[in-house]
Structure 1
Amino acid sequence: MPPKVDQAAIVILDIGRNVSTADEKGKKSFFEQARECVSRVIERKIMSQGKSLIGVMLLGSKKTQNNMAEQCDGAFRHIEFLAELQSPTWKLIRDLPEQPSKSRGDWMDALIVAADHFKNGLGSVKADSKKIILMTNFMSPTCLDENDIEKVLTGFKEEEFELDVIGLDIFEEHLKSEDIQLARKFVEATNGASASFEYAMQYLLYHKKKAVNVRPWNVDLSIGPNIKIPVSTYIRLRDEPPVKTWLKAVKDPVTLTASSREGIMSSRVHINTDNQEVVEADSVIKGYHYGQQIIPFAECDKSLLYESGEKSLNLYGFTNADNINWQSLTGDGLQYVFGRKGDKKAKLAVRCLTECLHELSLVGIVRRVYNRGNAPKMFAIMPVIDTNDYICLSMIPICYKEDIKYMTFPSTNLKRYECSKEQVDAFKDLIKAMDLMKAYDDSYEDTEAFPIAETVSPSVQYILDCIAFRAMNPGKPLPEPRDEIMMLFKRPPMVEKRSKEPLEKIKKLFTLTKVEVKTRDRKKPDQQVGAYVDNQTADIKPDNQINDVDMPSIKLPVTKKDNTVTKVGTVDPVNDFKLLIENGKPLVDISISMTEAIENLVYCNFDGIYTKALSAMKAFREECVKSDPTPYNNWIKIFKLELGDRNKDELMNLITENQLNFILKEENNSSTYENADGDESQLYETDTVPDATELTMNTEMNDFFNDM
């Protein structure tokens, strides 16, 4: 089977005298702009890693070197092939001429030479498309007559060539020369395109991924034992590295490039660490690390492996769309599910399923096995309805229970954190002002900023830029990111303009205080144990008096003896709680410090005596029975769950014996707990929640919540 490429292109670069001078002072000449554009085209083809061939022809060269000139003496002069059709290389960019010549060439002759090379130079290679890119200013008119030009145009149509003209937009109205009109005729007849250098370079600003043919994953979507819908899944989005594979090469010390004669050969051997002898591959038994121990795994043990089964896509059930949050999603991409191509019934079934999920606000949960030997994965299938394009299902992986980590944060549902209507409206105005769907004015083609699947990654672009720069400049340091990449980090102009006033309003409505980061100074000695007294009057007297003149005096903090209590402490929490109630402090605020004191008495207890903690709970409960049971019930629910995680069953029994469970409705009408039997049933919803994982937070985070 002959080799096949996606595209074969020949670039005709005019380097003659007609492109050597600039139209205006201080600007680049046509030749300089054309050279930069050709370099960018070749660079892009290299970085895309696609299957393509490219050749470069010099128009207006001093030399004449082409097949047509050899066949016709005196014709097709000043046309030279810098490189015939080949895979794009960095060397091809380096070989581009630095200066224009003083000769002139016929651009129509160059088209004929390029067409001849396509016919005779490709050999057995088959190309999906054949493109000729012409870069000239048409200041050197063609000498062919109309009959010959018509024959050339007919040949271009028969061979299905595509002609693109870059450098001048030949479809502009003010360009009316005969050569430009002739070029228009060729471009229109071959379904080509024309663009100026400015527009072409904007198109070539960013590197593009390799263009690949879409290959669907065909499978039957099984719903129950009897329903099977033939479907095809396509990858919509996927996170991929900029360069998938790297080829190692030896650096030539003279040219500072990859050596073409030397390479790296790698081999794998098994060595016995005891005697440093090489072990034959037949004598090696595979094993797996289990901690620090290696468990051997022989061929006979393969029967014990888990078998995921054949390729399949089974629907397990449906759930409400609100149950699938972004925290539950995982994976590195998104897939679309369509009915199998050519199967009208399958397409109709997928459409019906999609519309039903959309109307009922449901999401399907499926189990996917890509092929035999692959581990199964769970996916969520969600409806995608686009009236202009398609109606299908989107499929994205979801996490297993052990992959989800929960962090417990203190409640912010307090009156002190309630926002006023003016503050809420200020944030609504900010959200409207920062709408990315209307980020640009009418001077742009599209008013949307950062559209999905169209916005490039700045990091990927910079990595590819560095690779291209290193290939062309081996000994120079890497450059900073170019302006086009840095522009991706900037806010759109209209968004920035609209958001100024709402931001100023929010600054006035919200007063922010800077949180000081408290760090422990390890150079200072630790404070003496027992020197801290919490909300109590104490006289600290050392056991042994130290009479040392050089010993500095240390004044320990001692609270005043005026019975002023600001929070519930752990020394006498019951009296502190009663004093705060008598002083008229709100129960909602007191309950926070009270529950903190009780938890400190329980979690920091090493003797197993919980008398003080139970007394504090009793006082707290009695006060909540009189006024509002909500603070106690909300806290005891979380507290009992935490005790279960810490295996404090003894304290759980003491709480039940002392009747310190939930405040029931018969004790206070505001309670939601009806009877004693319902006490445990109220915990059912918390029992089904995955266990909260204790995660270590830094000091700044802890101080932030302490200040709250």
Structure 2
Amino acid sequence: MAPRIDQGTIIVLDIGRNVASSEEKIGNSFFLNAKECTARILERKVMTQAKNYVGVILLGSKITNNSMADQCEGAFRHIEVLAPLQTPTWQMIRDLPNEPSKRKGDWFDALIVAADQFKQIEEVNILNKKIILMTNFQAPSQIDEDQVEMVLKGFKEENFEVDVIGLDIYDQCHKGDDIDLARHFVQTTKGASASFEYTKQYLLFQRQKATKAVPWHSELSFGPNVKIPISSYIRLKDEPVVKTWKKAVKDPVTSTSSTTEGVMKNNTNQSNADDIVKGYHYGQQIIPLSDCDKTMLYESGVKSLSVYGFTHASNIKWQNLNGDGLSYVFGKKDDKKAQYAVRCLVECLHELKLVGIVRRVYNNGNAPKMYVLTPVIDTNDFVCLSMIAICFKEDIKNMAFPQTKQKKFACTEEQVSAFKDLIKAMDLTSAYDDTFDDTEAFPIAETVSPTAQYVLDCIAYRAMNPGKSLPQPRDEIMSLFKMPPTIEKRSRDPIDKLKKMLNLKKVEPKQKRRNQTQYHIPTPTVIHAADPNHTNEEINFPKVQVPISNSKSVAHIGTVDPVNDFQTLFRNGKSLVDLAPDMTKAIENLIYCNLDGNYSKAFNTLAYFRNECVKVDPSPYNTWLQTFKSALNSYNKKIDVCDKMLEKKLGLILKKENNLSTFDVEISHEDSQLYENDTMPYDTELSVRPEVNGLFDEI
């Protein structure tokens, strides 16, 4: 059976005298526009790497090179088959002519030559056959009505599709017998016609290869007895622009690359295979893994999708989601019972506002991952489950932010209305007027990735220009980063209004100060003890630059004397907000790095820092303390540290302790007691028996 090819395309490019001159005073000629479109079509065919065949025929060439001219003497002249039907290559683009010729060819004969090219391909089965004609029809064709009907009949039998690019033949301004005949061909073969402007706009960005979705089959199991056959399809996936790269060796003489050659390295330190133990990098250390250790590794089991339980949909936040894509889960195809069971499950989850937590093993031996199943009901016929990965406990980072419900963050009604006006002005759904096809800017599922497009442009440019440096991104790519002009114009007044209302301060980035140490060049003197009457005199020794030690200069807060360092930096002009990160870091180091269980130095520093925050601003202390107590959850001496902090009354700073009227913290007495008694209010403490803890004392 012959291999199947999805599409075969033959481009008929007119390079005759009739396309050499420009119809407009300013602009490219028809030949240059046609050549550019041909190059872009070939480039897209190469980049998609689809199962396509492409051929190029030159109309109006200096020479005649086609099989039909060999069969019919004196006919089909000035038609050259530049590239027969084959897999598209970069060489096809390089072989395109740079200048038009002084000959003219018959475009109708070129269509017959293109159809003959498809008949010569017998070793493959081409499903879709397309002929793209690029000519301005300024060279009249020798039309025979009987021949036209015979050719049209053959085109319909072979399912050819004829497209005309360059002139929109459906435009009423283009008239003539050739235009009418071309329109008849396009309509009969169900083709299309477009101008160069529309075609270039369509070819601006690279398209992904159209692939058929391959399902992942498994069973959705509820315990050991209930199992539903399902099929999972990838809806969205974060993939690299180029999935696989082939390594090639470049010849410095010919500047050509080869994928069949390589560089051989001589390893002088050869070892026996029996003496080699494989290992894994863990940080900067290599951990060996012997065959005996492999038998003790965790086995995830066979391919499966197991339901662990159900929870309310509100418990799954966006920050809990993980993974690199989204999948849809349906009942297995051709299994009506499975489809009905999945539909019932979706409707029940939607009605009860629940989601399912499942454990997925993609294949035998792969690491398991946890996913959340969410009901999706788009239409009556489209009912499924969306599956997306969720984080494990180790992947979740608890971050405490300062409260915004304070007087200094409060906004007036006038400021709130100004913000609403700015949001309305920056509405992307109405970024353009009625002159555009779509009034929305950057629509979802239609906006291309600038990074991916630039990578593909670089690949195409490097293929055509091996020795040149990569170009800058195109203007079309850079336009994706720019604000639409209508949005910019509408938002100008609301932004100016907000600037007048808000007391804005320009934040300048802090420049790193280099430690400029002053060097002193001492003048050496020598005392002659043998001659008491000899006075001291200066001797010219070699000068050595010795840095003057300045014991009073403090750059940061350390763990040796953190209180003294804090006082020194505070006197030098640093604020409490700037010193708080260094101070809290020093306190954490004193607690984490403690070995004898005596935290007196750490608690003294903590008490001093708390008193300073009570005087100035309690927010740095309260914010850090909540985060620190959460981090102590994984610390083995958590109970000792927390108990001692309660004994020394080093908890959160309450509102009544601060005397400043401008400070307003919304912390109730119940909240403060809650944080005093439990560092993680939402965690479940596990009680471990003393004899179990005793097992680890001797380790």
Question: Do these two structures clear the TM 0.5 threshold for a shared fold by scoring above it?
Answer: yes
Partner of 2:40: 40
1:540 is matched with which residue? Answer: none
CA-CA distance at 1:292 after TM superposition: 3.0
Relative to structure 1, the CA distance from residue 136 to residue 254 in structure 2 (aligned partners, 3 Å threshold; closer, same or farther) is farther
* Distance verdict in 2 for CA 1:57–1:525, change over 3 Å: same
Distance 1:594 1:118 in 2: 77
Range that drifts further, 450-459 or 416-425? 416-425
Matched residue type, 2:136: N
Partner amino acid, structure 2, of 1:244: K
Q: Name the residue aligned to 1:295.
A: 288
1:228 equivalenced with 2:227 (yes/no)? yes
How far the C-alpha of 1:662 sits from its partner, in A, is 9.3
Q: 1:302-451 counterparts in 2 under 5 A?
A: 302-387=294-379, 390-451=382-443
Query: What letter is aligned with 2:303?
Result: K
Cα–Cα, structure 1 residues 73 and 455, in superposed 2: closer, same or farther, change >3 Å?
same
The answer to whether the Cα contact below 8 Å between 2:629 and 2:680 also exists between their aligned partners in 1 is: no
Rounded Cα–Cα distance in structure 2 between residues aligned with 1:633 and 1:481 = 48
Deviation at 1:5, TM superposition (A): 2.3
Q: Check conservation: 2:277, 2:288, Cα contact below 8 A.
A: no
1:151 has 2:132 as partner: no
Deviation (angstroms), 1:489? 0.6
Matching residue's letter, 2:312: N
Give the conservation status (yes or no) of the 8 Å contact 1:614–1:655.
no
**1:542 alignment partner in structure 2:** none
Give the unaligned 5+ runs of structure 1.
527-551, 558-568, 572-589, 624-629, 691-708
Q: Which residue of 2 aligns with 1:130?
A: 129
Q: Aligned match of 1:452 in 420, 434, 444?
A: 444
Determine the structure 1 residue equivalent to 2:165.
166
Q: Which residue type is aligned with residue 20 of structure 1?
A: A
Q: Which residue of 2 aligns with 1:247?
A: 246
Query: Does the C-alpha gap of structure 1 residues 125 and 289 become closer, same or farther in structure 2, counting only changes over 3 Å?
Result: same
Partner of 1:96: 96
Structure 2 Cα separation of the partners of residues 283 and 655 of structure 1: 54
Q: Per the alignment, do residues 230 and 189 of structure 1 end up closer, same or farther by CA in structure 2, a change over 3 Å counting?
A: farther
Q: Distance in 2 between matches of 1:378 and 1:661?
A: 37
**1:248–1:264 Cα contact (<8 Å) kept:** no
Is the 1:318–1:365 Cα contact (8 Å) retained in structure 2?
yes
For 2:54, the aligned partner's letter is: I
> Contact conserved, 1:602 with 1:613, CA < 8 A, in 2?
no
- In structure 2, C-alpha distance between the alignment counterparts of 1:13 and 1:379, rounded to whole Å: 53
Q: Take 1:109 and 1:521, find their aligned partners in 2: how far apart are those partners?
A: 78
Q: 2: distance between equivalents of 1:196 and 1:441? A: 23
Alignment of 1:24 onto 2:21: no
The 3-state SS of whatever aligns with 1:392 is strand
CA distance in structure 1 between the aligned counterparts of 2:27 and 2:605, rounded to whole angstroms: 83
> 1:317 offset after TM fit, Å?
2.2
Residue in structure 2 matched with residue 62 of structure 1 by the alignment: 62
- Say if 2:398 and 2:630, in contact at 8 Å, map to a contact too: no
Mapping 1:664-703, distance limit 5 Å: 671-672=669-670, 685-688=681-684
Q: CA deviation at 1:10?
A: 0.7
2:474 alignment partner in structure 1: 482
Cα separation, partners in 2 of 1:150 and 1:619, compared to 1, 3 Å? closer
Structure 2: which 5+ residue stretches go unaligned? 520-547, 554-561, 565-575, 655-666, 687-699
Q: How much has 1:195 moved relative to structure 2?
A: 0.6
SS in 2 for 1:277: coil
1:21/1:673 Cα in 2 relative to 1: closer, same or farther (>3 Å)?
closer
Q: Distance in 2 between matches of 1:600 and 1:249?
A: 52
Deviation at 1:649, TM superposition (A): 5.2
Q: Equivalents in 2 of 1:5, 1:112: separation in Å?
A: 22
After superposing the two structures, state which structure 1 stretch, 505-514 or 162-171, moved more: 505-514
Conserved? CA contact 2:418–2:494, under 8 Å: yes
Matched residue SS, 1:70: helix
Deviations 1:152-178, CA, capped at 9 Å, x for gaps: 111111111111111111122333322
Q: In 1, distance between residues paired with 2:478 and 2:439?
A: 20
Moved more, 347-356 or 34-43: 347-356
Q: Cα 1:283–1:220, aligned 2, differ >3 Å: closer, same or farther?
A: same
Cα distance between partner residues in 2 of 1:340 and 1:395 = 16
What is the rounded CA distance, in whole Å, between the counterparts of 1:520 and 1:70 in structure 2?
82
Contact 2:431 2:439 survives alignment (8 Å):
yes
| Distance change (3 Å), C-alpha of 1:72 and 1:599 | closer
The Cα shift of 1:215 comes to 1.3
Q: Which amino acid aligns with 2:33?
A: Q
User: Are the counterparts in 1 of residues 402 and 623 from structure 2 also a CA contact under 8 Å?
Assistant: no
Helix, strand or coil at the partner of 2:681: helix
In the aligned structure 2, how far is the partner of 1:417 from the partner of 1:439? Answer: 32
How many Å apart are 1:188 and its aligned residue? 2.0
Q: Give the total of aligned pairs.
A: 615
Evaluate the alpha carbon distance shift between residue 613 and residue 203 of structure 1 in structure 2; reply closer, same or farther with a 3 A threshold: closer
Secondary structure (helix, strand or coil) at the match of 2:342 reads helix
Cα distance in 2 between the residues matched to 1:4 and 1:302: 45
The separation in 2 between residues aligned to 1:643 and 1:481, in whole angstroms, is 49
Residue 50 of structure 2 aligns to a residue whose secondary structure is: coil
Q: 2-side partners of 1:54 and 1:198: how far apart?
A: 23
Pairwise CA distance, 1:318:
2.6
State percent identity of aligned pairs: 56
2:670 alignment partner, SS class:
coil
Instruction: Identify if the C-alpha distance between structure 1 residues 525 and 253 changes in structure 2 by more than 3 Å, giving closer, same or farther.
Output: closer
Cα pair distance change 1:189/1:618, threshold 3 Å = closer
Asked if the contact 1:237/1:453 (under 8 Å) is kept, the reply is no
1:436-585 matched pairs, under 5 angstroms:
436-513=428-505, 514=507, 517=510, 519-524=512-517
Please give the secondary structure, in 2, of the residue aligned with 1:511. Answer: coil
Mark the CA change 1:416 to 1:96 in structure 2 (over 3 Å): closer, same or farther: same
**Structure 1 residue 35 displacement after superposition:** 0.8
Q: Cα deviation per residue 1:62-93 (whole Å; 9 max; x = unaligned)?
A: 22221112112222222110111112122211
- Amino acid in structure 2 at the alignment position of 1:672: E
- Cα pair distance change 1:337/1:502, threshold 3 Å: farther
Please state if 1:265 is matched with 2:262.
yes
Q: Hey, what's the Cα distance between the residues in 1 that align with 2:460 and 2:207?
A: 14
Q: Give the root-mean-square deviation of aligned CA atoms.
A: 4.3
Shift of 1:658: 7.0
Quote the residue 1:207 is aligned against: 206
Match of 1:78 in 2: 78
